[in-house]
Amino acid sequence: MDVVAVGRFYDRFAGLYDLVFNQVFQPGRVESIGAMDFRQGDRVLEVGVGTGLNLPLYPAGVRVVGIDLSSPMLKEARRRRRVADGGARIHLGQMDATRMAFPDDAFDFVYAPYVISVVPHPREVVAEMGRVCRPGGKVVIVNHFGSRHRLGHWLESKLTPVTQHMGFRLDLPVESVLGLDGLEKIDDRRVNLLKLWRLLIFEKQPTRC
Ligand SMILES: C[S@@+](CC[C@H](N)C(=O)[O-])C[C@H]1O[C@@H](n2cnc3c(N)ncnc32)[C@H](O)[C@@H]1O
């Protein structure tokens, strides 16, 4: 699916999203946000904020910007933001993660929960996340990646043509987000049911002169 088709899919799916993906993905959201060593006033960018299921998990004192392609998903996120904290420290906007309208080094944390296997060009999105993260800041990804086991790999390759119509793929190799210039992997954990998802944390390295 291209970016427009992905956006259309989530536009149509917004009303049902929480019913299907709230509980099943929640342990990974809790662990990801718990793993971010926030300090007062930190700036967090959440890429693919969706219906805002992560928003109530942020501690007081951080400033969150959430972006998403889909305006019906964002409408749900705005509703949830009102419940989360009155909207004082959370800003939401429609934007494509492949080309973000933020300057370089703008955020302390850049977090993509369950987004990387949804976008058509995952590596470009992770590179863009790295661009807007400040040196010393963290890029955090929670996602399902393709299995290394033969049976798992076979199953994912059979199911992916079906799941792609549902807006995501199961067989994305983890290598597609590794080895990017300036992003050093500092943590790699298994999360969620049967530990089938991974939480990856990268630290952005200072630019060498
Ligand atoms: C599987 S949902 C994840 C939602 C949320 N992060 C969560 O924890 O449940 C993927 C979200 O990414 C958004 N998305 C997909 N491609 C995107 C892109 N290129 N730029 C911004 N958002 C995108 C979709 O609209 C959808 O809301």
What is the pLDDT, as a whole number, of residue 157? 87
Give the mean model confidence (pLDDT) for residues 103-130: 97
Cβ of 74 less than 6 Å from ligand 1: no
What's the 204 CA to ligand 1 centre distance in angstroms? 23
Is the CB–ligand 1 distance for residue 70 below 6 Å?
A: yes
Structure tokens that stand for 202 in this block: 């990268």
For residue 167, give both structure tokens. Answer: 């807006």
Contact 74, 92 (CB under 8 A): yes
Check if 97 has its Cβ closer than 6 Å to any atom of ligand 1: yes
pLDDT at 172: 94
Say how many Å lie between the CA of residue 148 and the centre of ligand 1.
Answer: 25
Residue to mutate (ligand 1; options 12, 76, 115, 121; most atoms within 8 A of CB): 115
User: For residue 85, what pLDDT is reported?
Assistant: 60
Distance 6 CA to ligand 1 centre (A): 9
- Pairing verdict, β 197-204 and 183-191: antiparallel
Q: Quote the crossing angle between the two packed helices 3-35 and 71-85, to the nearest 10°.
A: 30
Is the pLDDT at 71 greater than 60? The verdict is yes
Q: Do the Cβ atoms of 61 and 40 come closer than 8 Å?
A: yes
Provide the mean pLDDT of the chain: 93
Q: What's the CA gap between 52 and 171, in Å, rounded?
A: 26
Got the DSSP string for the chain? --HHHHHHHHHHHHHHHHHHHHHHHHHHHHHHHHHS---TT-EEEEET-TT-TTGGGSPTT-EEEEEES-HHHHHHHHHHHHHHHTTSSEEEEE--TTS-SS-TT-EEEEEEES-TTTSS-HHHHHHHHHHHEEEEEEEEEEE----SSHHHHHHHHHHHHHHGGGT--S---GGGGSS-TTEEEEEEEEESGGG-EEEEEEEEPPPP-
CATH top class, domain 3-203 = alpha beta
The model's pLDDT over 128-171, given as tens digits with 9 standing for 90+, comes to 999 999 999 999 999 999 988 888 888 888 888 888 877 788 89
* Pocket residue to mutate for ligand 1, from 67, 69, 75, 125, most atoms within 8 A of Cβ: 69
- pLDDT of 88: 56
pLDDT of residue 70: 97
What atom in ligand 1 is closest to the CA of residue 11? 25
